[in-house]
Amino acid sequence: MNNNPIGIFDSGVGGLTVWNTLLKRFEKESFIYVSDSKHCPYGNKTDEEITELSIAIVDFLIEKKCKLIVVACNTATSAAIYFLRDKYKVPIVGIEPAIKPASLRSKTGNIGVLATKGTVSGTHFKTTALKFANDKNVITQIGYGLVDQVENNLIYTAQTRDLLRTYITPMLNQNVDFIVLGCTHYPLLSDEINEITEGKVILLEPSEAIAKQVENKLKEYNLESESNSRLTTIYTTGDNLLTIKNVLNQLKMSTKENIKLKRWL
Ligand code: DGL
């Protein structure tokens, strides 16, 4: 059981940013990643639709013998994590915007949050913001269109830059010192965001905290791998192999890393 892979999924390629952190942390673990690019974006879908899509993916990952599942999607976590944890026996780790660390570290007391509509309108987001940042000025912005720009391989374009400028300028006008990237696609836009902020704002994403949680769960369930040959298989439900390859390049993936790309569905 221990050498079985860790399953990861996202509505698209965004969760590869989480996988990248996990790869660095766990040298002996293999991974199966599902990019549900055919149904992307999840951000505008209902919780019921997202839960149904998540169930199909988790069923697939369990069929592939995954020993632990990471929901590398803030929107799917918000919509479906409780349901998934109830339904399946495997440990399931979710992701949520890093509001707490931003709140603890902010000196100006002004924090920007960029996330999808699904994440922002979820009760969990509102509860977290109230609990951890009640005394802060939280400027929340829905990143309309950004996930599509990433999925369509349009990161370094004027259109993406214009969208980001529209979303981030009001945050800068309110003197934010942290911007929480509340969607796993957004770290792929970090270069563009840093250009707009002139590097004066710290961008926070929670993949290190997710890696820590995964480590704890692997230990708790005695699931740590002892294998010396690891493999990642990336399945996509869409026609986006080129986007995936570009994301792997952007993440500076070593050519020595054993990665297979496949279609699913
Ligand atoms: N990467 C997903 C997230 O973290 C994007 C959601 C979407 O497809 O809208 O929320």
The atom of ligand 1 lying closest to the CA of 14 is 1
CA of 142 to the centre of ligand 1 (A): 11
Amino acid at 34: V
- The mean pLDDT of 86-96, rounded to a whole number, is 97
pTM of the model: 0.97
Residues with catalytic annotation? 73, 183
Nearest to 97 by CA among 188, 217, 187: 187
- The mean pLDDT of 96-109, rounded to a whole number, is 97
The atom of ligand 1 lying closest to the CA of 119 is 10
Residue 265: predicted pLDDT: 84
**Domain positions in the chain:** 6-95+207-263, 99-204
- The mean pLDDT of 32-53, rounded to a whole number, is 97
Residue 1 has pLDDT above 80, yes or no: no
Residue 253: predicted pLDDT: 95
Residue 63: predicted pLDDT: 98
Q: Taking a C-beta distance cutoff of 8 angstroms, is the pair 197, 176 a contact?
A: no
The 10s digit of each residue's pLDDT in 112-156 is 999 999 999 999 899 999 899 999 999 999 999 999 999 999 999
Residue 27: predicted pLDDT: 95
Mutate to test the pocket of ligand 1, among 73, 181, 207 (most ligand atoms within 8 A of CB): 73
Pocket of ligand 1 (CB under 6 A): 10-12, 14, 40-43, 73-75, 116, 119, 147, 183-185
CA of 176 to the centre of ligand 1 (A): 23
6-95+207-263 and 99-204, same CATH topology: yes
Q: Taking a C-beta distance cutoff of 8 angstroms, is the pair 183, 14 a contact?
A: yes
CA of 74 to the centre of ligand 1 (A): 6
- Tell me the CATH class for 6-95+207-263: alpha beta
Q: Taking a C-beta distance cutoff of 8 angstroms, is the pair 6, 30 a contact?
A: yes
According to CATH, the topology of domain 99-204 is Rossmann fold (3.40.50)
Residue 71 has pLDDT above 90, yes or no: yes
CA of 36 to the centre of ligand 1 (A): 10
The 10s digit of each residue's pLDDT in 186-235 is 999 999 999 999 999 999 999 999 999 999 999 999 999 999 899 999 99
